[in-house]
Amino acid sequence: MSADWSRRFLPPVREHRQLYVIQDPGSGFLKIGKAFDPEGRLSQFQTGTPHQLTIVHTHCCEDDAEAPALEPMVHRILAEHRVRGEWFNVTLDQAKAAIAQARAQLFR
């Protein structure tokens, strides 16, 4: 079976969700969210901003349940730094530390 045939007729292999951190260089704010396709998600946000957003970090989740559990925990950890919605006024190191802290709590 050719690879071309499988791309056209077989459903795509779905990977696990990922947590992503997107940076807005204009404000320096970071967006922390979840998606199966962070690059596709980035494209959706890019249309609404004049700045070139970039994905600065991704965390590949072990299964489909991890990201939906992890994301709100990370948001709670960073709550005092929330700007609006999923946007936070934190450094990348703070975002990574919050993800690590949330994972440690989740997998105790």
pLDDT in tens, 31-67: 999 999 999 889 888 887 888 999 999 999 888 889 9
User: What are the angstrom distances between the C-alpha of 92 and each of 5, 20, 23, 107?
Assistant: 42, 11, 9, 22
Sheet architecture: strand order including 18-23: 54-60, 18-23, 30-35, 87-88, 82-84
d(CA 105, CA 11): 35
Q: Which domain holds residue 90?
A: 3-106
The mean pLDDT of 73-99, rounded to a whole number, is: 98
> How high is the pLDDT of residue 4?
56
Number of domains in the chain: 1
